[in-house]
Chains A and B, each alone.
Chain A
């Protein structure tokens, strides 16, 4: 299995500011995925991050709002830019298991925008 850590675990931010969330995996993975879980809702995929290439964003999500970096095979960051209260959510990164179909999730970053 993959062990995933995220920083910060939670934060309270002011409207109009930006927050960068870090995701660290204990093994090298090809793809990393960023999901959003709005309060009381299910999970929605934001983007897929491959090392060495631009992230691929899902419909409704744009790079200017959610820029992603993937500098190596064990690390990725997601920035939530120019935040509004509607961005208050849990943001989770996810990776696939090496040689398996398992998909693992990090502990999540709980973001509150005031």
Chain B
């Protein structure tokens, strides 16, 4: 059974600081997703990582994937208040008829303080 674990689950940051959210998963997968969820809203896709060593960046967020370690990171650079949200990683089930099934981590609630 695929398990996905995020840490930390709660992250309180000061504006301007850097931090990293970690996502570990238990079995081989060919896709790793990062989503953002604002309170009362649906999920916004941030990144899809497909291969070992993949790195993607958008603004102050950068995601990377190490498939050998079964680890993805979401790095936040110089945090701003607008980044306050819940961040989920999700791992896709590889191939076959189950393509598109995602197993989610617990989510990291990020709060950025002035």
| Interfacial residues, chain A to chain B (CB-CB below 8 A) | 31, 33, 41-45, 48, 56, 92, 94-96, 101-108, 110
Chain A residues with CB under 8 Å of B99's CB are: 31, 96
| Interfacial residues, chain B to chain A (CB-CB below 8 A) | 31, 33, 35, 40-43, 45, 48, 50, 88, 90, 92, 97-107
The 8 closest A-B pairs by CB, nearest first: A105-B43, A42-B104, A96-B100, A43-B104, A107-B42, A108-B42, A105-B42, A42-B106
Residues A45 and B43 in contact, CB atoms below 8 Å apart: no
A109 to chain B, nearest CB (A): 10
Report how far A112 CA is from B40 CA in the complex, Å.
14
Closest residue of chain A to B31 (Cβ to Cβ) is: A101
Chain B residues with CB under 8 Å of A42's CB are: 88, 104-107
Among A56, A92, A96, A101, the residue within 8 A (CB) of B42 is A92
Residues B33 and A103 in contact, CB atoms below 8 Å apart: yes
Report how far A44 CA is from B99 CA in the complex, Å.
16
Chain A residues with CB under 8 Å of B98's CB are: 48
20 contacts between A and B (CB under 8 A): A31-B99, A33-B101, A41-B107, A42-B107, A43-B88, A43-B90, A43-B102, A43-B104, A44-B104, A45-B103, A48-B98, A48-B100, A48-B101, A92-B42, A96-B100, A101-B92, A103-B33, A104-B45, A105-B42, A108-B42
